Chain A
Amino acid sequence: MRNARDKGARGKGIGLGLAAWLAGILFFLPIAWMVLTSFHSEEDAATNPPSLAAPLTLDGYRDFFGTGGGASPWPSLINSTVASLASTLLVLVLALPAAYALSLRPVKKWTDVLFFFLSTKMLPVVAGLLPIYLFAKNTGMLDNIWLLVLLYTSMNLPIAVWMMQSFLAEVPKPVIEAAQIDGARLPTILTRVVAPIALPGIAATSLICFIFSWNELLFARVLTGVVAQTAPVFLTGFITSQGLFLAKVCAASLVISLPVLAAGFAAQDKLVQGLSLGAVK
Chain B
Amino acid sequence: MTATANTTPVRHTRVPTPKTAPPSNRLRAWATRAPLLPALIFMVAVTQLPFVATLVISFFDWNALYPDARSFTGLGNYSEVLTDPDLRKSVLTTILLTATVVLASLVLGLALALLLNRRFKGRGLVRTLLIAPFLLVPVAAALLWKHVLYNPEYGLFNGLLHWVGGDSAAQPDWISNTPLLAIEASLVWQWTPFMMLILLAGLQSRDPELVEAARMDGASNWQVFRHLTLPHLRRYLELGALLGSIYIVQNFDAVFTITSGGLGTANLPYTVYQSFYQAHENGLASAAGVLVVIGSIIIATFALRVVSSLFREEVSR
**Chain A residues near B (Cβ < 8 Å):** 13-14, 16-17, 19-21, 23-25, 27-28, 30-31, 33-34, 37, 45-50, 93-95, 97-98, 100-102, 105-135, 150-151, 153-154, 157-158, 161, 166, 211, 214-215, 217-218, 221-222, 231-232, 235-236, 238-239, 241, 246, 249-250, 252-254, 256-257, 260-261, 264-265, 268, 271-273, 275-277, 279-281
Contact = CB atoms under 8 A, between A and B. Distances in A.
Interface in B1-43: 1-2, 4-6, 8, 10-15, 17, 29, 32-36, 38-40, 42-43
B136 interface: yes
Contact of A236 (B8, B122, B136, B256): B256
Nearest to B297: A122
A122 B48 CA distance: 12
Interface stretch (B71-79, B81-89, B144-152): B144-152
Given A101-B35, A253-B140, 17 more contacts: A20-B112, A20-B118, A20-B126, A37-B148, A94-B38, A107-B36, A111-B11, A115-B4, A131-B50, A157-B42, A217-B138, A235-B137, A239-B143, A254-B140, A264-B135, A265-B128, A280-B239
B243 A276 contact: yes
Nearest to A95: B39
Give the dominant DSSP class at A's interface: helix
B315 to A, nearest CB: 8
Contact of B260 (A214, A232, A239, A268): A239
Interface of B: 1-2, 4-6, 8, 10-15, 17, 29, 32-36, 38-40, 42-43, 46-51, 53-54, 57, 111-112, 115-116, 118-123, 125-141, 143-149, 153-154, 156, 158-160, 162-163, 171, 189, 192-194, 197-198, 200-202, 205, 235-236, 239-240, 243, 246, 249-250, 252-253, 256-257, 260, 268-269, 272-273, 276-277, 282, 285-286, 289-290, 292-293, 296-297, 299-300, 303-304, 307-308, 310-311, 314
A31 B159 CA distance: 16
A253 B243 contact: no
B137 A231 contact: yes
Given A127-B290, A272-B197, A115 B192 contact: no
Contacts of A101: 32-36
Contacts of B293: 123-124, 127
26 contacts: A16-B115, A20-B112, A20-B123, A45-B154, A48-B162, A94-B42, A98-B36, A115-B308, A119-B5, A124-B289, A124-B296, A125-B269, A128-B53, A131-B53, A135-B50, A157-B43, A215-B137, A236-B256, A246-B148, A257-B140, A260-B135, A264-B134, A268-B127, A271-B197, A272-B198, A279-B311
B131 A21 contact: no
A123 B140 contact: no
A47 B126 contact: no
B96 to A, nearest CB: 17
Given A130-B57, A265-B128, A108 B15 contact: yes
A49 B47 contact: no
B141 to A, nearest CB: 8
Contacts of A128: 47, 50-51, 53-54, 289
A235 B143 contact: yes
**Ordered nearest first, which 3 A-B pairs have the shortest CB separation?**
A17-B120, A128-B50, A97-B35
A106 B289 contact: no
A142 to B, nearest CB: 13
A27 B135 contact: no
A200 to B, nearest CB: 16
B139 A109 contact: no
B6 A127 contact: no
A70 B274 CA distance: 28
* Of A97, A117, A239, most B-chain CB atoms within 10 Å: A239
B193 A27 contact: yes
Contacts of A50: 154, 156, 159, 163
Contacts of A222: 273, 277
B148 A34 contact: yes
Nearest to A265: B128
A165 B300 CA distance: 21
Given A16-B115, A281-B201, A236 B126 contact: no
Contacts of A166: 314
Nearest to A253: B140
B273 A108 contact: no
Given A100-B35, A112-B8, A150-B46, A123 B136 contact: no
B277 A98 contact: no
A70 B299 CA distance: 45
A52 B291 CA distance: 50
Given A30-B145, A37-B148, A122 B129 contact: no
